[in-house]
């Protein structure tokens, strides 16, 4: 038994590098575009070359046929028969006639119906092919036929051959017309054309490579830009070329994506800064109050007062921490709505009842406008939170003499809750931000200062988590109207989880 060992060729690392570079190049869009373009143009040029060749050949043959048909008729004028032999009758003094007959007799063959040669020109192509039987069969043709013939030297001829009745006698006539002369020129032209094709295609390949490179330049810029984008360089933008093509659309979309990313990074940054600021303020206050108490307080009452003030700030701190925790849970989709069919009218009346006494104490006119038994599929806990936030804002920001109106309306598939007040309102420049976390309009002290700027963020999240939305209409000095639209839902319980935006 013999063993055969196959030795695999050991490729050098350099060769491997070449191979992988080649593979990368072959995969590149630029290469594929250029190759596609060159292949298409090559096919078109080759096709055009061949089509031209065929068209030219046909036209040459058509011309030869027309010439032979014309000469066939001319022979009839000059040819006569004398005792069965051909006799050419013409004016020997008329140079035109002499020329004409000489031209006719230059490539001509005349035979009788039995195939016996009567006259054959010296220049008639391939006379050996004109056998007696071939001539006999030509005599019985219905009409003269054309055929292409090539001599052993490769010269092409168009031949018209067939019966030629002369009085009572049937002759066989064959006339030949060389194609070689015209073919020669065509061949030269086509040879040049096909030889110059590789150079032309090479040139086109180079042009296609450059064009593809130019067309893909914005894509490469996009790729480079995407490479350097980080949280620090989110302000980077690529200017569209102004061509309004697909690449421009891609560039615009890429820039829009960066806009969105930048905005959400900014929001996260602002949130972190705001959160630390919000936590630091009460912490500093607590620390200050305790330090002052330690140094100055002498009696138990003084310590008690200091601790009570500190407790208020600690309470505020824990409220912020609780709210933040809840918001971050909502953000990560951990808060699950427990929806059920709830009598929204009753819920609204109960919540508003909490504000009746404080409102009349503050000199506010609180009115409720809810239909009997308006039910909807909501999470009662979250709905109450939403309503309490809106009511407490309206209560907080209105002044004595102002009014607050709470209403619920049921539409076909939605319920619309409105909390409107005639308070100071919100100016245009603040309106777009009031749903952002920690965003507060007034920092000028008073009750309004007690808010932590998270109430409306909750309102927005709760509305969206129910598949609804919240809108605000307000102008400075003209009150504020918050409208919450929620889908009324059906009677089956369902859960919905929605991360906060």
- Residues of the shown chain interacting with ligand ADP in the complex, contacts defined by CB under 6 A: 389, 393-394, 397, 421, 423-426, 434, 439-442, 451-457, 480
Q: Would you say 405 or 442 has its CB closer to ligand ADP?
A: 442
Q: Would you say 177 or 393 has its CB closer to ligand ADP?
A: 393
Kindly state the tokens that stand for 450.
């007690």
Helix axes 180-228, 29-78, angle to 10 degrees: 170
- Which helix (DSSP H) or strand (DSSP E) does residue 262 occupy? helix 246-296
Which residue in the block uniquely carries the two structure tokens 């067939």? Answer: 162
Q: How far is the CB of 449 from ligand ADP (least distance, A)?
A: 8
**Phi, psi of 440, rounded to the nearest 5 degrees:** -130, 145
Q: Would you say 312 or 343 has its CB closer to ligand ADP?
A: 312
- 138: closest CA among 174, 178, 106? 174
Q: Would you say 144 or 451 has its CB closer to ligand ADP?
A: 451
DSSP-derived secondary structure for 358-418: HHHHHT-EEEEE--TT-EEEE-HHHHHHHHHHHHHHHHHH--TT-EEEEEEEE-SSEEEEE
For residue 243, give the DSSP letter: -
Distance CA 449, CA 394 (A): 14
Q: Would you say 303 or 439 has its CB closer to ligand ADP?
A: 439
- 68: closest CA among 11, 121, 146, 134? 146
Q: Would you say 157 or 435 has its CB closer to ligand ADP?
A: 435
- Which helix (DSSP H) or strand (DSSP E) does residue 491 occupy? none
CB 422 within 8 A of CB 397: no
CB 415 within 8 A of CB 376: yes
Torsion of CA 371, 377, 380, 385, to 10 degrees: -80
CB 367 within 8 A of CB 394: no
**Phi, psi of 133, rounded to the nearest 5 degrees:** -65, -35
Q: Would you say 101 or 324 has its CB closer to ligand ADP?
A: 324
Q: Would you say 70 or 475 has its CB closer to ligand ADP?
A: 475
């Amino acid at each position: 038994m013999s063993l055969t060992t196959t030795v695999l060729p050991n490729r050098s690392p350099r060769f491997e590098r070449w191979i992988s570079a080649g593979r990368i190049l072959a995969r590149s869009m630029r290469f594929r575009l250029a190759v596609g373009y060159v292949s298409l143009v090559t096919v078109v040029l080759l096709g055009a070359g061949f089509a031209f060749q065929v068209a030219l050949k046909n036209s040459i043959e058509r011309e030869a046929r027309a010439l032979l048909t014309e000469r066939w008729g001319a022979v009839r004028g000059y040819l006569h028969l004398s005792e069965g032999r051909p006799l050419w009758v013409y004016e020997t003094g008329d140079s035109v006639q002499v020329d004409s007959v000489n031209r006719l007799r230059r490539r001509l063959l005349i035979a009788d119906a039995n195939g016996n040669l009567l006259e054959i020109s010296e220049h008639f192509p391939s006379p050996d092919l004109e056998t007696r039987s071939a001539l006999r069969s030509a005599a019985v043709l219905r009409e003269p036929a054309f055929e292409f013939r090539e001599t052993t030297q490769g010269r092409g001829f168009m031949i018209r051959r067939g019966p030629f009745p002369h009085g009572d006698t049937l002759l066989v006539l064959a006339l030949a017309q060389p194609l070689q002369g015209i073919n020669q020129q065509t061949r030269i032209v086509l040879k040049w054309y096909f030889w110059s094709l590789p150079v032309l295609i090479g040139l086109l390949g180079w042009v296609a490579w450059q064009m593809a490179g130019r067309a893909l330049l914005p894509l490469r810029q996009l790729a480079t830009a995407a490479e350097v984008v980080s949280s620090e360089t989110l302000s980077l933008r690529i200017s569209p070329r102004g061509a309004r093509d697909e690449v421009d659309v891609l560039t615009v979309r890429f820039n829009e994506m960066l806009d969105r990313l930048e905005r959400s990074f900014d929001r996260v940054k602002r949130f972190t800064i705001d959160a630390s600021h919000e936590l630091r303020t009460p912490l500093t206050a607590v620390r200050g109050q305790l330090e002052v108490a330690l140094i100055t307080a002498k009696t138990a009452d003084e310590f008690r007062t200091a601790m009570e003030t500190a407790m208020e700030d600690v309470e505020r701190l824990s409220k912020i921490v609780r709210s933040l925790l809840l918001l971050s849970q909502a953000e990560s989709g951990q808060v699950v709505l427990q929806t059920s069919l709830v009598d929204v009218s009753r819920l609204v009346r109960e919540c508003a009842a909490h504000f009746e006494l404080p409102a009349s104490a503050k000199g506010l006119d609180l009115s409720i406008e809810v239909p009997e038994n308006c039910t909807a599929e909501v999470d009662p806990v979250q709905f109450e939170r939403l309503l309490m936030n809106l009511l407490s804002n309206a209560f907080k920001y209105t002044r004595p003499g102002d009014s607050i109106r709470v209403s619920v309306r049921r539409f076909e598939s939605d319920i619309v809750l409105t909390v409107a007040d005639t308070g100071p309102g919100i100016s245009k420049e603040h309106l777009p931000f009031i749903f952002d976390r920690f965003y507060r309009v007034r920092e000028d002290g008073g009750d309004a200062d007690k808010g932590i700027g998270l109430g409306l963020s909750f309102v927005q999240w709760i509305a969206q988590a129910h598949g609804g939305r919240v809108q605000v209409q307000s102008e400075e000095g003209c009150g504020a109207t918050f409208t919450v639209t929620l889908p009324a839902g059906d009677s089956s319980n369902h859960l919905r989880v929605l991360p906060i935006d």
